[in-house]
Amino acid sequence: MTRTAGRKATRKQQQRSIQTQEKLLDAAARAFAANGFKGTSTRDIAARAGVHHPLITYHFKSKDELWRAAVSRVFDRFHEVLCGTRQALADAAPRERAAALVREYVHFAAANPELHKVMFQESSSDNPRIAWLIEQYLRPLYELSVNDLIELQQQGVAPPGPPAMLYNLMRLAAGAMLALRLEVRGTTGLDLDRRANLDQLADMLIRIFLSGNAQAAQA
């Protein structure tokens, strides 16, 4: 009985530890996205998470380690969503697959504003964090997408021009609007927290960047 009670106590402690880490990672992602690395203190993160400050150093060795763990959590989820969509539509026409990826991207970015806000914060200066983010996530995402874009251009579906330019236009057209949603709503009245408006945003991106006719191009 004592051994069983001990195992249950250990499991509860492990569960509490995991829950604390998740709270800290969520709070850290929000804080770093809002205030940047330099403008965020570990005490602020602990307060946002509702935990005692010493627990940060217990779970993470440094603020830099916490930043990387929090950012990785967001980008790993994003990568899983995109890869899941690509796999599900592996046999679909390239335009259909690309359109589905645009929709997934818009809705994920809307639900996870840290995705772009962290990039905006760290891109304001040359620093080890943006270099790490590029190496670990941003360049691999580009390399995963660029061949699809080239194929779409060759089919006449996507507009001509440097693929790198097209890639950045597509992602920032949505990403910047979503990262600046408060300003967008205040200036124009467009509420990007509404699903109907997100669907319209995705549809407009598809019409603008994937408007060509592959059959006509091949004729």
Inform me whether the pLDDT recorded for 107 exceeds 60.
Answer: yes
Q: What is the pLDDT of residues 7-50, one digit of tens each?
A: 555 666 667 778 889 999 999 999 999 999 999 999 999 999 99
Overall average pLDDT of the 109-127 stretch: 93
Q: What is the pLDDT of residue 15?
A: 77
Tell me the domain boundaries of the chain: 62-214
Q: What is the pLDDT of residue 216?
A: 41
Q: What is the pLDDT of residues 176-219, one digit of tens each?
A: 999 999 999 999 999 999 999 999 999 999 999 999 765 443 43
**How far is residue 17's CA from residue 11's CA, in Å, rounded to a whole number?**
10
- Percent of the chain exceeding pLDDT 90 equals 82
Alpha-carbon distance values, 70 to 76, 114, 136, 166 (Å): 10, 10, 14, 29
- What CATH topology corresponds to 62-214? Tetracycline Repressor; domain 2 (1.10.357)
